[in-house]
Structure 1
């Protein structure tokens, strides 16, 4: 399957589901390039006193809402994603926090979590072309949209700090890849690499995963994790248009910064 036609056929389902497991079936080849570096930076206060966990209801109020990020729309997370940690199986225990972050599940030792999807909205830019006037370039641009799966979780005591460390440890332990299973589908991650984080919140950590697309090339996705006090925010970006062009699917800075600011 050619990369452009693959993106065209699979974008609706894959972007809606956001799961690496579901994206496997689209078989679009992504980027094989990796960035270097990581960071942990201070620069924001907590949404609650350090060591005090927020409830699920409180976390839901802290999620980005419609209208809070210009050029993006906010929706509920697709129901096809794993609803709980028990629904996402990983062959290496050290890699579990990475997989949970990609599913917007609480990556640490807590069940208090909330999630949604923030998607680039190009509807305002859409033209009034008739179907016969739509070009190949128009179709590719239509799929060049980033959907970001955002998850919030909260922890008692030093749980949030321990959760952040689990990502550092996990990236190192899982650099050679791992296998995850959800919804009866198996996805092989061939490489995990630490990358430079945004510096948002009191701590931030970022990494990329390279996913095998059923033997039809690979796709590279970026994940970032930000801690503000007792709250940890995870961001997982998917852009099939970028992947189809051989690029990397990144987390939009506008989404990450807006969510981090709401946690101050």
Structure 2
């Protein structure tokens, strides 16, 4: 393979420097995730009183109940579903934002629970490779190799965190993410384990599911490069799911070709009932 192509591909991969995304690109672990909310580095941000979310008094699902409604292999056609492992965990204490109001978005991106979470499950959902993307690169032209590399990275990976809450904590957690996304639409800087990530915009997108759902495109700027990510939040009763997705190919150049992983959201919404 030509060195220029390798370098270009490496730069694209290195642009995704959030700890969570780096681990999602590698091998997956089937280790069970912690069900105790105290191990998830919870955030203390709550929704303001103007939230339209119903103040439900539902009882939180137990750890076994939450596991039963979490995604499993076979639930999302054309995708591989695995349990997140220890290497996928991002401690809440290592997450910061230059604007306090943006912290719920940073936590949602990393699958960190809000205050009041009683149980948590986490999954990695990765789209199957495009057929033919694994062809041999021997004797290929540089252009053909570059196209093959793009195809190999044209996979949407989604990190799904499911959190069970008591009473109004679920609606409040969901509303806090919506409020933060609106207030930080002009951009913010996140710090993950000491690594700064500059996001220049948050744009709302349309999505449905559960009792209420919302979605956004976040654009990260790294030097002259821009890459887009998708963030989604869905609430069913007092259970809240967050989804953080990236695609190294479709997300490049601001993500004009990057579509929401609606099939993943729909599958999780279906299991929640």
Q: TM-score, normalised by structure 1?
A: 0.76
Cα gap change, 1:186/1:139 in structure 2, threshold over 3 Å: closer, same or farther? same
Q: Is the 8 A contact 1:20 1:187 kept in 2?
A: no
Q: Between 253-262 and 76-85, report the one with greater CA deviation.
A: 76-85
- What secondary structure sits across from 2:106 in the alignment? helix
Q: Between 65-74 and 176-185, report the one with greater CA deviation.
A: 176-185
- Find out whether 1:131 has 2:141 as its counterpart: no
Query: Which residue does the alignment assign to 1:26?
Result: none
Cα gap change, 1:5/1:71 in structure 2, threshold over 3 Å: closer, same or farther? farther
RMSD of aligned Cα (Å): 3.5
Give deviations 1:73-102, integer Å, cap 9, x for gaps. 012336454433222122333212211111
Cα gap change, 1:204/1:129 in structure 2, threshold over 3 Å: closer, same or farther? closer
- Find out whether 1:217 has 2:225 as its counterpart: yes
The size of the alignment, in residue pairs, is 239
Structure 1 residues without counterparts, runs of 5 or longer: 24-39, 42-48
Aligned counterparts, 1:52-67, within 5 A:
52-67=59-74
Give deviations 1:19-44, integer Å, cap 9, x for gaps. 38999xxxxxxxxxxxxxxxx99xxx
How far the C-alpha of 1:217 sits from its partner, in A, is 2.4
- Find out whether 1:234 has 2:211 as its counterpart: no
Cα gap change, 1:5/1:143 in structure 2, threshold over 3 Å: closer, same or farther? farther
Query: Which residue does the alignment assign to 1:119?
Result: 126
Aligned match for 2:214, one of 205, 210, 219: 205
Q: In 1, Cα distance between the equivalents of 2:67 and 2:160?
A: 11
Aligned match for 2:105, one of 98, 104, 109: 98
How far the C-alpha of 1:167 sits from its partner, in A, is 2.1
How far the C-alpha of 1:164 sits from its partner, in A, is 2.0
Query: Which residue does the alignment assign to 2:173?
Result: 163
Higher relative contact order (CA 8 A, sep 6+): 1
Q: Is the 8 A contact 1:150 1:235 kept in 2?
A: yes
Cα gap change, 1:87/1:109 in structure 2, threshold over 3 Å: closer, same or farther? farther
Q: In 2, Cα distance between the equivalents of 1:128 and 1:178?
A: 38
- What secondary structure sits across from 1:205 in the alignment? strand
Give deviations 1:173-214, integer Å, cap 9, x for gaps. 212222221222111222222222x1111001112222121x
Q: Is the 8 A contact 1:106 1:112 kept in 2?
A: no
Q: In 2, Cα distance between the equivalents of 1:72 and 1:147?
A: 9
Structure 2 residues without counterparts, runs of 5 or longer: 26-51
- What secondary structure sits across from 1:233 in the alignment? strand
Query: Which residue does the alignment assign to 1:6?
Result: 8
Give deviations 1:141-191, integer Å, cap 9, x for gaps. 111100001110111111111122212221222122222212221112222
- What secondary structure sits across from 2:219 in the alignment? strand
